[in-house]
Structure 1
Amino acid sequence: MSVHILGIRHHGPGSARNVKAFLEELQPDIVLVEGPPEADALLQWAGHENLQPPVAILAYQPESPQKACFYPFAAFSPEWQAILYARRQRIHVRFMDLPLAHVFGMEHEATVDENNQQPPENTDSGSAPVFVVRRDPISHLAEAAGYEDGERWWEHMFEYRQQQTQIFEAVNDAMQALREELPRKEDHLEQLREAWMRKCIRLAEKEMFQRIAVICGAWHAPALNNMPKQKEDNDLLKSLPKAKVECTWIPWTYSRLSYESGYGAGIPSPGWYEHIWEHPADDGTRWMALIAKLFREQQKDTSVAHVMEAVRLANALASLRHYSRPGLEELNEATLSVLCNGENILMQLIRDELIVRNRMGTVPIEVPKPPLQTDIEKLQKKLRMPQTADFKDYLLDLRKDTDLERSIFLHRLQLLEIRWGRRQEVSGKGTFKEQWRLQWDPSFSIDVIEKGSWGNTVAEATASFVISSANNTSTLQQVCRMLESAIPAELPAVVEVLIHRINNLAAASGDVLQLMEVIPSLVNISRYGNVRKTDAALVSGIAESMIGRICISLPAACTAVADDAALALLELFYAMNDAINLLQDPALTGEWQATLLIISRAAQSASMIGGYATRLLFDGKIITGDALVKAFSVAMSVANPPAQAAAWLEGFLKGSGTLLLLDEELWNMVHNWVSQLENDFFIQVLPLLRRTFSNFTAPERKKLGDKVKSAGAGNGKKSGSTTVGIDENRASKGIPVVMQILGWGDSKILADGA
């Protein structure tokens, strides 16, 4: 009976190759792998044609799915190769780490104790501080070997090495020396984990397995080789708390395997590791060829000579640094110098597409999963919307049945707060098009499991979740947003509940501004009446009643308003006006315009709001001609404080300066008003005027500036009309040509004056 401890790096191509070769030579009758024992039942799926790494075991608590953890595997993970070997050879394979039932149980107890614990008194015991090592222990070996980085040392010593003689003995000796020499703080969880691993090894021995292979992290290898007494481990593992745990397979991505994702056992370059796993003897030629292919796809010229020169440079750098072969650092330096011409932006492209790679694994649909996750995957397959690590854009035509079903599915996921798809702006004003950008993240699996408590299908879970959220929400605007999303999600029962909820909240609300905020949402809802076969009358009644209440209360809300509040109110006016115009209801439009007329004529209304109300009435052709000139003259009168007049002008000109360019009379009024301001008053209103004109487009500002210059060049003379000289003789010569182009007659006859 023999036990073989193989200390490895969790995601290392060299370690994976060493484990595979060692197992093929040893031919064990059981393989023990560091991992959660609760997932033993999932190991039967290893080797399935549709279980393609990168994948991960998701372990979670059913009562609280957010308390979860992942165990990722890539093709170059030693644990994955060990599991595949065992499945191919039809021998026993088990996980042997501390069960997550105990880990979650201890975390729960620690949380409870922390909440119940009183703050400690500030006492000074006078004891000396305990030295705690926070460095990666591997960095000490790297420093002794002359390396600045522990990762580079490990790669060159183990991941790139071709001769693997006694490699695991060397790893064990190195870790044993580090554990003996470096002082470390007692880690209770680590002690429990190693005690449980030893317990699993003893159990395998008791079951009379003759050749036992143990795959574990390199740091744990000495603790498993040097077995303490069984009683010591049993005492340590007594009375551990428990929690219920469930496990499943989920797809994973290389980006989530990297350090940047926050994964504790992450690696810096998953794409590069996959390359050296598949091509262990590559001297850089294949890698540079991949870079050249990538550049050519990006329309960047890259020749074979570039590739050859970059490979030579990488190998020369490796020789100068006394490496047996170039690593990723040497290849990157050569690439930057030869292929990128020193441009770091191209290196970012290489990093994203090759060094990390946005690759995503697959999981068989038959793998046991929560019902909601199964329903989502069935819909993804039916609608031909696969999960991808990279983003993918979909332009949906809602007049087509498949695209309409896709839209309904995505809207329901959004209501469930599963952010797989994000709406994008789409050109055109039609309601039959939607633009979506989809990108799957493995963490969505936790969200799916969490929302599974609301129902077993997407429709059922969405309906239950939204109804519960609406009943627990007291904000009218939030419920309106739910309704706006529920109608395109085609959830009639939910829509009915939300409308009833909006009615109740609107009746209880006395805040006219809050009512104005939700009107655009309600009007947008009616836009789906045609394409989605939804009755827009579901919300028309409530919208009409709310608009009526707004029109009654709004004039009073526009009095005694500060400048900052007036700016915010202008945006509500703008949205409200657009919404009412979109409804195209003459009665509502007339009611709204009557309210604007009251606001524009009320002396107590905030100047900025009064000016904007006048502008909206002018746009609606309610105030024109002499009435507009009179309103403008009263507001811009020298009897008014300059700041008040400037605020009125800012409201009136909001959004466009074209009115000043086209209406000469209004232009002269503004010009005369500014010209008559005294110096002190001009300095006072200048910031307001600058803010007003800064909102105009660049061409408008340029034309207004030219107009001011031309007025100044006229010796200060201001007239109500502009005279433009026309040379009739020259103009008459162009008429025949224009008429001939238009095909309206004989140019010769026209030239004779006929």
Structure 2
Amino acid sequence: MHVLGVRHHGPGSARSVLEALEELDPDVVLVEGAPELAPLVPFVADPGLVPPVAGLVYAVDEPGRASFYPMAEFSPEWVALRWAVARGRRVELADLPAAHLLATRAAEDAEAGVPVLRDPVGDLARAAGYDDPERWWEDAVEHRSGTAVARFDALREAMAAVRAAGPGDDLETRRREAAMRRSVRAALRAGAARVAFVCGAYHAPAVHPDARVPVKEDTALLAGLPKVKVTATWAPWTAGRLAVASGYGAGVTAPGWYQHLFVEGARAGATPEDVTASWLVRVGRALRDEQLDAPPASIVEATRLAQTLAVVRGRPSVGLTEVTDAAQTVLCGGSTVPLELVHRTLVVGEAMGAVPESVPMVPLAADLARRQRALRMAPSASVTVLQLDLRKEQHRERSLLLHRLLLLDVPWGRPAAVTARTTGTFREAWQLEWVPELSVRLVEAGLRGTTVPAATEGVVRERAAAAADLSALADLVEQCLLCDLPDALTVVLAALERQTAQQHDPLTLLRTVEPLARTCRYGDVRAADTAGVARVLRTVVTRVAVGLRAACTALDDDAGALVREAVESAHRGVRLLDEPALDGPWRRGLTDLARDERVHAAVSGRVHRLLLDDGTLEVVTVAERMSRRLSVGAPAPAGAAWLDGFLEGDALLLVHDPTLLSLVDEWVAGVDDATFEDLLPLLRRAFARFSDAERREVGHRLRAPGVLRAQVTRLDVDRALPAVHATARLLGLEPVA
């Protein structure tokens, strides 16, 4: 019985494991991992299973409770599995079953996978003065004389000393080690002549038979543990996720570098100098891809510098620190900015694993994989931007898939700003990035349906039944059109019509207008039927226009702010469509609202600005009402609130209309000192919305002499008519009565 204690995701450990297995040639290979993954082990021989991948074990009834067991090409566990399967040896996974682990662990911590609370190899490396555990492993383990098995035995003794000096283990670690020992005993009882157990170095002293832990002690630890029904599959993993301090990924800060060490170091006749040179060649290529200078001569110089640094620092070989310092000095001109690119693309890496179709997976995940292949949308671990033209059939299908996944809470893509120069509505942009956690989200979404459309429709029906207000239903209508779910849309519209008829709160109705209007406006490019949505929208706008005036009176400041925001939102929705059937009732409602001085000042000010911008009100009318709102007899806080609502937007109105600017200036100058201090935050907020250039222009207008002499003037046409006629006769024109 031989225990091979390793550093998870350590390329040096992986090479040592391979050497030890060749030396031992065991009958049975035990590997640390959830026993539920055992049926998936044969797939490691499938060329379609490309690491990094992770064994995913999740609770059948609650897929959000899951554990990941990630493996990279340079992971010792992956090397051991590949070796055993290729030679037809019996493979067993030894650890506390995930069925118990998930039952005893809180759901919010399930994503962390099997916890590695410490990095014992890293601790030994730091104690020896190394900043890179891999360099310590190479120097202290691989360069030692003797066989690989002897080196693992020496490491196990060192770990025993580390454990003895430590604070002791938590209950979960003790249970896991008890389960590992149970697997070791079972393998030995089965008559295996040679058994090799690949596990974390920290566990090696505890699971070796020399530990002599009584069976009854392990039985007591494992007795009566709760259990849940689980299932397992392989899921794609990413290099970036290997660098996250969770599960077996703890402490792996440079997976791309480790991959390079493992692959290049395994080449026949490869020397440490070859590994260094090939890495810096890759660095130079990455810089040139970004249009940065990295000539071959500089790469040669950087290689020499890295080797010199290793000698000066007393290192037996070049490590990541040396190649990074050399690249920064020679290839990056001392700058850290290009180095960040190297870190992202090479040191961490952007590799993403792949899982073949033969691996059992939930039907929804299989359906998504088929759609991704059909639409040529291969998942990637790196962030990519996808520009779509919805006039093209394939682009429309891609948009549908991404919108449906968003609705399923599987955010593979997120909407981004369109970079193409167009004012049309047929362009979409998405930022795509696949992260491993989405595999769990797919399993959860699979409870609603076996295909992407079916699952999306199931989600919509659930949300429609649970929707508590109109705004949620209105948003759901928009999502149904974006996802092309006509059957689900019928259900949502029926619920929307019922709630609209029963809803008497104008604020809720106001908030419904914009999402419904957006749905009507942007449904055309997808050839969607929006007639039902338009019908509901007309009903909502009509009811809102009738009840708007009553809803905006007797409000406190907090309620006034909410109503002001809702009115502006509804106004954007109505303007978006520009339909007389909506525009007429809405403008009449706003006009009535503007006339009523009982309306909250902030709402009134905003409504006046909206009507002025639309041309419904003349500047003279607005100036008269502003004059009343800002008069000496009016409360100063109410005047400030009215002004705040009116000035929201740009400052062009004040810049180009001296009448309005004069009124504002006179009002501010007339406020007494005590009141002014109270109003200052509100005024500051109102003017802070303007750009720097606009504020400078307003200040220039205020300083210019004679600019603010304009007064509010009403023309009396009847009194002016005789003068107009006389002027016309002098000009030889015939006056028209």
Whether the TM-score (by the shorter chain) exceeds 0.5 is yes
Which residue, 304, 316, 326 being the options, matches 1:324? 316
Output the CA distance in 2 between the equivalents of 1:310 and 1:349. 17
Amino acid at match of 2:196: A
Aligned residues: CA RMSD: 3.1
Give the aligned partner of residue 215 of structure 1. Answer: 198
Equivalent position amino acid for 1:344 in 2: T
Task: Kindly indicate whether residue 267 of structure 2 is the aligned counterpart of residue 282 of structure 1.
Answer: no
The runs of 5 or more residues in structure 2 that have no matched partner are 110-116, 266-270, 714-737
Q: Is 1:88 matched up with 2:86? A: yes
Change over 3 Å in CA distance of 1:93–1:631 after alignment to 2: same
Match of 2:597?
Answer: 603
Letter in 1 for 2:259: E
Give the deviation of 1:627 after TM superposition: 3.7
Q: Could you list the per-position Cα deviations for residues 65-114 of structure 1 after superposition, in whole angstroms to 9, with x for gaps in the alignment?
A: 112111111111111111111222223222222322333345489x9xxx
- Classify 1:90/1:568 alpha carbon distance in 2 versus 1 (closer, same or farther; 3 Å): same
Give the letter for the 1:171 counterpart. L
CA-to-partner distance for each residue in 1:544-575, whole Å, 9 max, x for gaps? 22212212222122223344543443332222
1:26 equivalenced with 2:24 (yes/no): yes
Q: Aligned equivalents of 2:99 and 2:619: distance in 1? A: 80
Q: Is the 8 A contact 2:125 2:133 kept in 1?
A: yes
1:623 aligns with 2:622: no
C-alpha deviation, 1:271, in angstroms: 0.7
Cα distance, 1:143 vs. partner? 6.2
Matched position secondary structure for 1:28 = coil
Instruction: State the partner residue of 2:5.
Output: 7
Match of 1:244 in 2: 229
Deviation at 1:651, TM superposition (A): 2.9
Indicate the residue corresponding to 2:687 in structure 1: 693
Q: Does 1:570 align with 2:564?
A: yes
Distance 2:231 2:175 in 1: 21
Query: The residue matched to 1:454 in structure 2 has which SS?
Result: coil
Tell me which residue corresponds to 2:582: 588
| Counterpart position of 1:732 | none
> Could you say which residue in structure 1 is the equivalent of 2:242?
257
**Contact conserved, 1:528 with 1:536, CA < 8 A, in 2?**
no
2: CA distance, partners of 1:367 / 1:544: 52
Distance 1:575 1:654 in 2: 14
Offset of 1:273 from its aligned partner?
0.4
In the aligned structure 2, how far is the partner of 1:557 from the partner of 1:525?
Answer: 26
> What is the letter of the counterpart of residue 246 of structure 1?
T
TM value normalised by structure 2: 0.86
**Aligned residue for 1:115?**
none
Supply the distance in 1 between the matched residues of 2:190 and 2:515 (Cα, whole angstroms): 68
Contact 2:12–2:134 (CA<8 Å) still a contact in 1?
no
Taking a change above 3 Å as real, the CA distance of residues 546 and 432 of structure 1, as seen in their structure-2 partners, is same
Alignment match, 2:46: 48
Structure 2 residue identity aligned to 1:282: P
1:634 aligns with 2:628: yes
Name the residue aligned to 1:311: 303
Alignment check: 8 A CA contact 1:196 1:233 kept:
no
Pairs within 5 Å for 1:47-446: 47-107=45-105, 137-138=120-121, 141-142=124-125, 145-147=128-130, 153-154=136-137, 156-158=139-141, 165=148, 166-179=150-163, 181-182=164-165, 184-185=167-168, 187-222=170-205, 223-226=207-210, 228=212, 231-232=215-216, 235-236=219-220, 237-238=222-223, 240-260=225-245, 265-280=250-265, 281-283=271-273, 284-426=276-418, 428-446=422-440
Counterpart Cα distance in 2 of 1:270 and 1:508: 59
SS in 2 for 1:60: strand
Alpha carbons 1:291, 1:350 under 8 Å: kept: yes
* Mapped partners of 2:125, 2:610: distance in 1: 73
Residue aligned with 1:315, SS: helix
Rounded Cα–Cα distance in structure 2 between residues aligned with 1:261 and 1:404? 38
Aligned to 1:748: none
Shift of 1:138: 4.7
AA in 2 matched with 1:328: L
Q: CA deviation at 1:699?
A: 3.6
Per-residue Cα deviation, 1:685-731 (whole angstroms, up to 9, x for no partner): 5554443333233443333333223326x8x866899xxxxxxxxxx
Name the amino acid aligned to 1:214: F
Identity %: 38
Deviation at residue 364 of structure 1 after TM alignment: 0.2
Does residue 710 (structure 1) correspond to residue 704 (structure 2)? The answer is yes
Q: Which residue of 2 aligns with 1:657?
A: 651
> Which is further off, 203-212 or 43-52?
203-212
1:442-494 CA distance string (max 9 Å, x none) = 11111111121111111111112221122123132222212211111111121
Moved more, 558-567 or 66-75: 558-567
Q: 1:683 to 1:108 in 2, by over 3 A?
A: closer
How far 1:653 moved relative to its partner? 3.2
Q: Name the CA shift for 1:527/1:208 in 2 (closer, same or farther; >3 Å).
A: same
Counterpart CA distance in 2 for 1:108 and 1:613 is 52
Distance 1:18 1:261 in 2: 24
Provide the secondary structure at the position in 1 that maps to 2:526. Answer: coil
Unaligned runs of 5+ in 1: 112-133, 722-754
From 490, 494, 509, the equivalent of 2:503 is: 509
Distance 1:628 1:19, change over 3 A: closer
Which amino acid in structure 1 is aligned with residue 480 of structure 2?
Answer: A
Q: Distance in 1 between matches of 2:43 and 2:311?
A: 45
Distance in 1 separating the partners of 2:53 and 2:406: 25
Counterparts of 1:260 and 1:705 in 2: how far apart (Å)? 55
Give the residue type in structure 1 aligned to 2:9: H
> 1:195-236, CA deviations, whole angstroms, 9 ceiling, x for partnerless residues?
433443343344443333322222232332416388547744
- The 8 Å contact of residues 411 and 486 in structure 1, kept in 2 or not, is answered as no
How far residue 149 of structure 1 moved from its aligned partner, in angstroms, is 7.5
Deviation, structure 1 residue 266: 4.1
SS of the aligned residue for 2:91 comes to strand
Amino acid at match of 1:275: H
Alpha-carbon distance in structure 2 between the residues aligned to 1:229 and 1:708: 88
Q: Give the Cα separation in 2 of the matches to 1:463 and 1:606.
A: 43
1:236-283 Cα deviation digits (max 9, x unpaired): 455554332211011001111114457564412111101111122333
**Aligned partner of residue 65 in structure 1, secondary structure:** coil
Matches of 1:25 and 1:148, distance apart in 2: 31
Offset, 1:668: 4.6
Equivalent position amino acid for 1:60 in 2: Y
2:272 is paired with a residue whose SS is: coil
C-alpha distance in structure 1 between counterparts of 2:76 and 2:132, whole Å: 23
CA, structure 1 residues 346+159, in 2 after alignment: closer, same or farther (shift >3 Å)?
farther
Residues 164, 334 of structure 1: CA spacing in aligned structure 2 closer, same or farther, 3 A cutoff?
farther
Counterpart residue identity of residue 27, structure 1: D
CA–CA distance in structure 1, aligned partners of residues 83 and 478 of structure 2: 53
Q: 2: distance between equivalents of 1:545 and 1:205?
A: 77
Whole-Å Cα distance in 2 between the matches of residues 162 and 582 of structure 1? 78
What count of residue pairs does the alignment treat as equivalent? 693
> Does the 8 Å CA contact 2:9/2:248 hold for their aligned counterparts?
no
The answer for the alignment partner of 1:37 in structure 2 is: 35
Equivalent-residue separation in structure 1 for 2:448 and 2:533 (angstroms): 27
From 454, 459, 470, give the equivalent of 2:453.
459
1-side partners of 2:281 and 2:184: how far apart? Answer: 46
Question: Where does 1:639-650 land on structure 2 (aligned, <5 Å)?
Answer: 639-650=633-644
CA distance in 2, matches of 1:646, 1:80: 69
In structure 2, give the amino acid aligned to 1:532. Answer: R
Amino acid at match of 1:11: H
Return closer, same or farther for 1:275/1:108 CA change in 2, 3 Å cut-off: closer
Partners of 1:653 and 1:4 in 2: CA distance: 79
Which range moved further: 235-244 or 24-33? Answer: 235-244
TM-fit CA distance, 1:357: 0.9
